[in-house]
Amino acid sequence: MAAMDAPFYDVNLSYEDNYAKGPFGAFAAALESRAGAGVATSAAETAATAEASSENFLGLPVNLPFGIPAGPLLNSRFTDAAFLMGFDIAVYKTVRSRQWPCNRFPNVLSVHPRGASIDPEGVEKDEGVLADSNYGTDATRISISNSFGVPSQDPDVWQPDMAAAVAHAGAGQVLVGSFQGLRKPGMSDEAYVADCVTTARLVQETGAKVIEMNTSCPNEGHNRLLCHDPALVGRICDAVKDEIGDTPFMIKLAYLPREEQVEQMVRSTAAHGTVQALCTINTISCKLVDRNGDQALPGAGRDRSGVCGAAIREAGLAMVRRVAMARERLGTAFDIVGVGGVTTPADYAAYREAGAAAVMSATGAMWNPRLAQHIKATR
């Protein structure tokens, strides 16, 4: 058991208030401490003092291949705090080619599966998973809803802010820029591919050392994830890689239950060198209900939500193993980034043992902002 800290994303505030006022808790204290000491972190200042590291992330030296995935790090204040707290890989919240609003508040609820884990292949038979505002006291067991809808600022806002986030990475730290294509009703595949390429270029212009494309957003519609169409993913990845050149490129995947699905994805993306890493998993889509059995999150189309946290740990580990086996069968080379339910140092070790070259934690890190420090203390 690990006692909960105040989360650095305040679930009782709107996304807009978090963006404007956050981060909170220990992340806020870290920023205040830096400001009080008059310390300005920049890549230029830290390069001279960078120590050689035996660890790397996509060829870039890191103190520890552990960080926070796309989602809770809304802007450069959040990524700055993450670096200060020892998370050496920070993924800037997924951006789009134009401004996109957030889903209606609330976006985060505490999720209580009947067992320790959610079965990703049994959720269709489920009558619903209880979701409420009782988050408990144990940061190692928490699971939450993730119902934001991938909000984004306009590029005129996020580009300079992401550039600042890149510049503030310290020695042995990496800022990843995450993006998602903007798919509208009636849009042709050609137009969708073009939007993905445009957004990838905008991210690259910030100086991000690694670029990630999200193919697994549960808010795009249940069973309408981009990663369910490996041929289209491959087509987009080829076009994006042509645009960004040598910049390391990875894609975020959802849980894929069958080995043939995983193999098709690897063949379409990583097998011929277009993609340097597969990051998995995002969330698991579940029907969320309150204690009366009614829809837990307000608004049309929100009967289901992506769930993240401890309840998806086993699914995340299973997916990493599945990707690793496909990599071995196909005899190809790429990295795997393990995500899903990492709340303890033991979880980090389990993902590494399963085949992940790097590991990330969102929910676990939100309620235990010292998680990276705890992992480093065990090494």
Residue 300 inside a domain? The answer is no
Q: For 294-320, what is the mean pLDDT? A: 96
Residue 263 inside a domain? The answer is yes
Confidence of residue 124 (pLDDT cuts 50, 70, 90): low
User: What's the CA gap between 189 and 60, in Å, rounded?
Assistant: 34
At residue 316, the pLDDT reads: 98
Confidence of residue 38 (pLDDT cuts 50, 70, 90): low
Residue partners of 357: CB distance under 8 A and separation at least 6: 57, 65, 277, 335, 336, 337
Number of domains the chain contains: 1
Residue 132 inside a domain? The answer is no
Q: What residue type is 238 in one-letter code?
A: D
Higher pLDDT, 116 or 235: 235
Residue-wise pLDDT tens digits, 280-304 = 999 999 999 999 999 999 999 899 9
Cα separations in angstroms, 188 against 184, 314, 327: 9, 37, 32
Range of the domain at 346: 15-114+139-283+309-377
At residue 60, the pLDDT reads: 97
User: What's the CA gap between 299 and 142, in Å, rounded?
Assistant: 24
Strand 335-339 relative to strand 304-309, pairing = unpaired
Q: Would the pLDDT of 199 be above 90? A: yes
At residue 37, the pLDDT reads: 81
Residue-wise pLDDT tens digits, 227-271 = 888 899 999 999 999 999 999 999 999 999 889 999 999 999 998
**Which residue's entry shows tokens 């993450």?**
82
CB 379 within 8 A of CB 348: no
Beta bridge partners of 132: 110
Q: What residue type is 127 in one-letter code?
A: E
Q: For 34-60, what is the mean pLDDT? A: 64
Q: Would the pLDDT of 92 be above 90? A: yes
User: What's the CA gap between 359 and 64, in Å, rounded?
Assistant: 9
Tokens standing for residue 373: 């420090």
Confidence of residue 121 (pLDDT cuts 50, 70, 90): confident
At residue 127, the pLDDT reads: 82
**Which residue's entry shows tokens 């790097």?**
358
Supply φ then ψ for residue 263, to 5 degrees. Answer: -65, -40
Confidence of residue 116 (pLDDT cuts 50, 70, 90): confident
Q: Would the pLDDT of 33 be above 70? A: yes
Confidence of residue 46 (pLDDT cuts 50, 70, 90): very low
Beta bridge partners of 193: none
At residue 224, the pLDDT reads: 61
At residue 51, the pLDDT reads: 46
At residue 4, the pLDDT reads: 86
Q: Would the pLDDT of 221 be above 60? A: no
Confidence of residue 218 (pLDDT cuts 50, 70, 90): low
Q: Which of 328, 331, 375, 327 is nearest to 351 (CA)?
A: 375
At residue 53, the pLDDT reads: 63
User: What's the CA gap between 211 and 94, in Å, rounded?
Assistant: 10
Supply φ then ψ for residue 14, to 5 degrees. Answer: -70, 165
Residue 101 inside a domain? The answer is yes
Q: What does the H/E/C string look like for the chain?
A: CCECCCCCCCCCCCHHHHHHHCCCHHHHHHHHHHHHHCCCCCHHHHHCCCCCCCEEECCEEECCCEEECCCCCCCHHHHHHHHHCCCCEEEEEEECCCCECCCCCCCCCEEECCCCCCCCCCHHHCCCEEEECCCCCECCCCEEEECCCCCECCHHHHHHHHHHHHHCCCCCCEEEEEECCCCCCCCCHHHHHHHHHHHHHHHHCCCCCEEEEECCCHHHCCCCCHHHCHHHHHHHHHHHHHHHCCCCEEEEECCCCCHHHHHHHHHHCCCCCCCCEEEECCCEEEEEECCCCCECCCCCCCCEEEEEEHHHHHHHHHHHHHHHHHHHHHCCCCEEEEECCCCCHHHHHHHHHHCCCEEECCHHHHHCCCHHHHHHHCC
**Which residue's entry shows tokens 């709340």?**
343
At residue 42, the pLDDT reads: 43
Q: What is the CATH number of the domain that holds 62?
A: 3.20.20.70
At residue 277, the pLDDT reads: 98
Between 29-43, 146-160, 231-245, the lowest mean confidence (pLDDT) is in 29-43
Residue 78 inside a domain? The answer is yes
**Which residue's entry shows tokens 């988050």?**
135
Residue-wise pLDDT tens digits, 55-84 = 999 999 999 999 999 999 999 999 999 999
Q: Which of 196, 206, 208, 205 is nearest to 238 (CA)?
A: 196
Residue 129 inside a domain? The answer is no
Q: Would the pLDDT of 9 be above 50? A: yes
**What mean pLDDT, rounded, does the chain reach?**
92
Q: Which of 83, 97, 139 is nearest to 310 (CA)?
A: 139
User: What's the CA gap between 87 and 81, in Å, rounded?
Assistant: 9
